Homo-oligomer: A and B are copies of this chain.
Amino acid sequence: MQITPYTRMVYYHETDRMDIVNHSNYIHMTEEARVDFMNKIGVGYHDMEAQGILLPVLGVTCTYKHSLHFGEHLAVYSTITRYNGFKLELQYEIRCVETGALCATATSSHCFTNANLKPMRIRDKFPQMHAFFTQAMEVTYAEGSSC
């Protein structure tokens, strides 16, 4: 399954006085990319929540390698590193579209819960969604993806 990365411009309000994107905003980017990724693999994030399934964040990491600047565009390549119907872990590569530089790598880990934040397995109750996530473990990105 081939998909495109999540792309957008760097926002002025994301920069800080060091004239680079403030490190805290990369966590926003991974959240946006996660929603976009799930929509692209067939799981509408909003629909998933409407069915009473939540995906709270258990943890995040982010390693900063190269600054992003106003005037540039970012592309986030998301992949599933772990999925067992109960836990979900993703990794993200955040690149500058103009230079191709790898700006940051990040991870997020989650478990599926019901609307009361009680952990649950989605395999039996939501087989279609389970299939989408399983297939998405084989996702690849087209070469030279751009905005």
A12 interface residue, CB < 8 Å from B? yes
Tell me if A12 and B8 are in contact (CB < 8 A): no
**What number of A residues sit within 8 Å (CB to CB) of B?**
40
Q: What chain B residues lie within 8 Å of A117 (beta carbons)?
A: 18, 67
Chain B's closest residue to A21 (CB) is B17
User: Which chain A residues in 15-30 approach chain B with CB under 8 Å?
Assistant: 15-19, 22-25, 27-28
Copies of this chain, whole number: 4
Where chain A touches its partner, the secondary structure class is: mixed
Q: Are A70 and B31 in contact (CB under 8 A)?
A: no
Which of A52-60, A74-82, A119-127 is the interface stretch?
Answer: A52-60
A17 contact from B9, B15, B27, B31, Cβ within 8 A: B15
Judge if A51 is at the interface, Cβ distance under 8 Å: no
- Cβ contacts under 8 Å, A32 to chain B: 9, 11-13
